[in-house]
Amino acid sequence: MKIFHTLAQLPPDFGPVVATIGNFDGVHCGHRWVIDRVNARARSLGLKSLAITFDPHPARVLRPEKPHTLITPLAQKLEQLATTGVDATLVLPFTLDLSHLTAETFAREILRDAVHVREVHEGENFRFGHGAAADIDSLEALGRELGFAVQCYAPQILRREAISSSRIRRLLLAGDVSQARALLGRPFAVQSTPHSGRGYGTRYTVPTINLAPYGELLPANGVYITSLKVGKEEFEAVTNVGNRPTFGADSFTVESHILNFHPLELTAEAPLELAFLHRLREERRFPSPADLLTQIKKDVGKAQRFFSLRGTDLNRS
């Protein structure tokens, strides 16, 4: 997949293309469904397919006072988009200036003049232009005027509700990583690097690998069955997301205890990818580290059972 980070990076002979526009946070099953159609249509017309997205996420620019964490930060979103088979992604820098473009200017200057779009495919809830004033009908009208076609899709539904990034965000904030996984079509995962802990784990409970402070979306505090990739190697793990109240003052961290551990060389830059498979329980304050250790052993037992059953229907979401 080719990646363009500005309009200026597009070659002058770029296009014509079949395109879809959106934030694509999470690159969920609804996004993939639209992109599959864009790819198929591009192939049948002998054109290239293009995803047009924005960075930073528009919510961060338009409502900076309201924190907006991402399911997939840009690098991970681009990795996921690459797996869809789309030929190219254009990442438009989302600035206040861009947000002030009217729908008509966006369609004329970006879609027609820069990208040379032949067809645009969108879900029916698509909105664009200053103040999100324009909808899919306005896009169709602009297409007729400017010379491109618009294909509109009804929302893809899973478990009686439309698949959307907002729905996945809500599920993760509620700790429901199993439903989030169904909507994403893969487990929710965060990419980070290691960070040193306080050494309490090795002394009082179980040894853990801590993640460096992570600024994007994490599932609700609690204990999860996870898989942890260290470089290319994948381990089975149990992970605590939270403040570790048993040890006193709050100190938020994400830490994983590897089940099938072998000694590792873990540099500060080692790439980690932590995938959340199943929620086990809430984080709790235990009367003593020994009580916590007893509970962690039960968590480990459940995780071992989960992994031994993996591949059977029981663990399919």
Ligand X SMILES: Nc1ncnc2c1ncn2[C@@H]1O[C@H](COP(=O)(O)OP(=O)(O)OP(=O)(O)O)[C@@H](O)[C@H]1O
Residues that bind ligand X (CB under 6 A): 20, 22-25, 30-31, 33-34, 122-123, 125-126, 153, 155-156, 162-166
Could you tell me which residues come within 8 angstroms of residue 117 by beta carbon, excluding any fewer than 6 positions away? 15, 16, 17, 18, 19, 50, 111, 148
Classify residue 27 by its DSSP letter: -
From ligand FMN, ligand X, none, interface partner of 17 (C-beta below 5 to 8 A by class) = none
Region near ligand FMN per CB under 6 A, out of 60-68, 132-140, 195-203, 265-273: 195-203
Nearer to ligand FMN, 86 or 280 (CB): 280
From ligand X, ligand FMN, none, interface partner of 85 (C-beta below 5 to 8 A by class) = none
Beta strands in 173-271 (DSSP E): 188-192, 194-195, 209-211, 222-230, 233-242, 253-258
**Six token digits for residue 302:** 């459940």
Report the alpha-carbon angle 294-298-304, nearest 5.
140
From ligand FMN, ligand X, none, interface partner of 223 (C-beta below 5 to 8 A by class) = ligand FMN
From ligand FMN, ligand X, none, interface partner of 165 (C-beta below 5 to 8 A by class) = ligand X
* Interface with ligand FMN, residue 283, by CB under 6 A: yes
Q: Cα(24)–Cα(111) distance, rounded to whole angstroms?
A: 18
- Closest approach, Cβ 129 to ligand X, in A, equals 14
- Closest approach, Cβ 47 to ligand FMN, in A, equals 50
Three-state SS string across 85-124, please? CCCEEEEEECCHHHHCCCHHHHHHHHHHHHCCEEEEEEEC
Residue labelled with tokens 């597009």: 10
- Candidates 101, 114, 195, 200; binder of ligand FMN (CB under 6 A) is 200
* Interface with ligand FMN, residue 292, by CB under 6 A: yes
- Candidates 48, 167, 181, 257; binder of ligand FMN (CB under 6 A) is 257
From ligand FMN, ligand X, none, interface partner of 191 (C-beta below 5 to 8 A by class) = none
Residue nearest to ligand FMN (CB): 197
**Six token digits for residue 247:** 């040890």
Nearer to ligand X, 41 or 195 (CB): 41
Q: What is the rounded (10 degree) CA torsion for 143, 144, 149, 153? A: 80
From ligand X, ligand FMN, none, interface partner of 257 (C-beta below 5 to 8 A by class) = ligand FMN
* Interface with ligand FMN, residue 210, by CB under 6 A: yes
Q: Cα(77)–Cα(175) distance, rounded to whole angstroms?
A: 21
- Closest approach, Cβ 22 to ligand X, in A, equals 2
Establish how many alpha carbons lie within 13 A of residue 209's alpha carbon, considering only the half-sphere containing its beta carbon.
Answer: 30
Report the alpha-carbon angle 140-142-147, nearest 5.
95
* Residues in contact with ligand FMN, shown as a per-residue x/- string from 69 to 88 under the rule CB under 6 A: --------------------
Nearer to ligand FMN, 20 or 240 (CB): 240
